[in-house]
Amino acid sequence: MGMLSEGLTQVLIPAAALVGIAFALLQWYLVSKVNVSGDFSNGYSGKLIEEEEDGIDSLEVSIKCAEIQNAISVGATSFLFTQYKYLSVFMGVFAAIIFFFLGSVKGFSTKSEPCTYSQGKLCKPALANAAFSTLAFLLGALTSVLSGFLGMKIATYANARTTLEARKGVGKAFITAFRSGAVMGFLLAANGLLVLYISIILFKIYYGDDWEGLYESITGYGLGGSSMALFGRVGGGIYTKAADVGADLVGKVERNIPEDDPRNPAVIADNVGDNVGDIAGMGSDLFGSYAEASCAALFVASISSIGISHDYTAMSYPLIISSVGIVVCLITTLFATDLSEIRDVSQIEPSLKRQLVVSTILMTVGIAMVSFFALPSEFTLFNFGTEKAVKNWHLFFCVTIGLWAGLVIGYTTEYYTSNAYSPVQDVADSCRTGAATNVIFGLALGYKSVIVPIFAIAIAIYVSFSLAAMYGIAVAALGMLSTIATGLAIDAYGPISDNAGGIAEMAGMSHKIRERTDALDAAGNTTAAIGKGFAIGSAALVSLALFGAFVSRAGINTVDVLTPKVFVGLIVGAMLPYWFSAMTMKSVGSAALKMVEEVRRQFNTIPGLMEGRAKPDYANCVKISTDASLREMIPPGALVMLTPLITGTLFGVETLAGVLAGSLVSGVQVAISASNTGGAWDNAKKYIEAGASEHAKSLGPKGSDAHKAAVIGDTIGDPLKDTSGPSLNILIKLMAVESLVFAPFFAAHGGLLFKFL
């Protein structure tokens, strides 16, 4: 037994989650103290609050900011509610499928079964597993939706406040944007942990000593989380990019008006899109990763000596890691908001990167303590039919290598997508000769940026598997996600700054303020790319852990590539990411086409729009984006959700194992290259626009040929970095977790085609 008692564990986990929630609410309160409404009756005078250089009436600007913020908030909320209406139907149908498939494993009998792993004991009936898996699925789905929704609410609450704070200086604006990101990060990490912990305790009331059944049914939690994330990511990604591409092509390239110009009809839809795609989608996505990594680790532990000997504290090891993670991230956040101050634009990016390093170093210490106190000094782990003896320090290395691999992926991504380094500067330089060379350089950069992350993932997999079999990989994934609160804070910071810049432009604030928000936004682009790198890297580890759990649950001893069943699955699985990307990119393309036509129509038919005398019809563009994304998110979603069901039922578990392995191997590469190519193009454009160095000045100003070429690259990169790339990591994880949940059914009744052949 470890040194941590069961009672203490039961207090520590929920306590950490509640501390996380309290900290998030505190940050929210601090953000809310920035006044937006233009109501200065609370003792301040308008003059005292702002030191506006140009003497634009600050009251007027405040009111305008509040109006724009309201429009964005209303747009985002109404889109999410419409999306959730569709998703609630899907949840109901899919919950019924889970119950029906799993219940039919033993013909809906209510008799206790002999356990699969603990010999000589009786376990609860398959029907109970079906019912509880369905319940866990619904809980996961609701938590995922809630995570995304809360994130969107705080982001739309904070965007105008960041703009107004930018009048006092870049440091104040940075703190507001960062705090708002932290609200989302901590709420998500804490909610995910709390709901999972409470579910386990409630399920235990029925399951009692049958831990095997308990943790098998808990895997439904991960499935619920990720299936909502898939639709949130794809739907939000299509929404945001249709608006962005439409706004850019007509506004910047054809009409030569600046980004986020209020005359552009698609500008509100574009800013709404940042919130539903990058914030709500990203939130659900990382929550899904987190839920699945926890479920995979818990499931593998439950069929090992820890689970069979009912060592509660050791069993809760994955949850304790997440609890320590929340506390570590809390300390890290104080470094950015309270312990150091940003005085200059050049300090923004280093400060965000410091967050990653500080949280990683502190977390390493935390993991060492948890591994020493919570785990027995020696125990055995299930390893495909054999038992593997493991010591507690082995697991320390597994979690730590996942954590540091995440940092390596984050830094590599940053090197390839930040305009402070040569890769992006080379891409910007290639714009001299037009859009074609820009595209060639950008694609090459994306493919090249895959190398280091893949080696990092490969080393993490090899080390953790050698030390602690499949459990090692599951906890390595958790290690990568243990600092999720900080990761999400620096990630959500990006879209909030982006929105703040948009609001500054639309409210007609001075050039100086727009420069400050642009600097915040350029750093935000890089941190968003880092966040995507984390999401993809953790998805690779998570899906491998789920794959291992699936293989052991389905009763396959080895997956042999040389058998035709497996190889066929492998090659088809490797094709799926391409099919999926094709669907999402075409959806963005066709939605953007409609948007471009609408924006052109408004410029041509509304008299006085270009001169700024008439207002554009923003609502129509919002409607185009909404309709397109709700309609277009269904086919890619169906592809991912149905593939495991059809493969497992018709071709059996071995072919399905091949499909999972294939999609994992090719999906990671496509996802990393797509995100980084898009991020690099975006920042190459910003590099030219900012004109910070002599080199950049020689390419610019806005509207030059090189700048136009850069805008085209950025527009191509939009669906890559915000729709296809980030959705692919969900494809990889979701297929694996779905296969694991349905594994009992596939093992009992799968492979119908081969039975008849």
- What integer is the mean pLDDT of 332-344? 81
pLDDT of residue 676: 92
- What integer is the mean pLDDT of 432-444? 95
Query: Which has the minimum average pLDDT: 330-344, 431-445, 582-596?
Result: 330-344
pLDDT of residue 54: 46
Place of tokens 């009409």: 255
pLDDT of residue 47: 38
Contacts 24+ apart (CB under 8 A), 697-706: 699/428, 699/429, 699/431, 699/432, 702/258, 703/256, 705/434, 706/428, 706/431, 706/432
The runs of H, that is alpha helices, within 267-338 are 267-273, 282-302, 305-308, 312-315, 317-334
The answer to whether the beta carbons of residues 196 and 224 sit under 8 Å apart is no
Query: Which has the minimum average pLDDT: 335-339, 462-466, 688-692?
Result: 335-339
Q: How confident is the model at residue 350 (pLDDT cuts 50, 70, 90)?
A: confident
Share of the chain above pLDDT 70, in %: 96
391: left (phi > 0), else alpha (psi -120 to 50), else beta?
A: beta
Q: How confident is the model at residue 42 (pLDDT cuts 50, 70, 90)?
A: very low
State CA 475 to chain mean position distance. Answer: 19
Q: How confident is the model at residue 528 (pLDDT cuts 50, 70, 90)?
A: confident
Q: Which pTM was predicted?
A: 0.89
pLDDT in tens, 689-741: 888 888 888 887 888 899 989 999 998 998 898 889 889 989 999 999 999 99
Closest-CA residue to 474 (of 408, 415, 548, 545) = 545
The runs of H, that is alpha helices, within 104-210 are 126-165, 170-207
DSSP string, 489-506: HHHHHHHHHHHHHHHHHH
Residue 495 has pLDDT above 50, yes or no: yes
Residue 11 has pLDDT above 70, yes or no: yes
Helix (H) or strand (E) holding 71: helix 58-103
State CA 117 to chain mean position distance. Answer: 35
Distance CA 464, CA 405 (A): 12
pLDDT of residue 341: 78
Distance CA 636, CA 640 (A): 6
- What integer is the mean pLDDT of 662-685? 93
Angle, helix 435-448 to helix 652-690, in steps of 10 degrees: 130
pLDDT in tens, 560-584: 889 999 999 999 999 999 999 999 9
pLDDT of residue 696: 86
pLDDT in tens, 98-126: 999 988 887 777 777 777 766 667 778 87
Separation in Å, CA 631 to CA 40, 106, 234, 236: 45, 38, 11, 12
- What integer is the mean pLDDT of 234-254? 88
pLDDT of residue 346: 81
pLDDT of residue 2: 60
Average confidence score pLDDT of the chain: 88
Query: What DSSP character marks residue 386?
Result: E
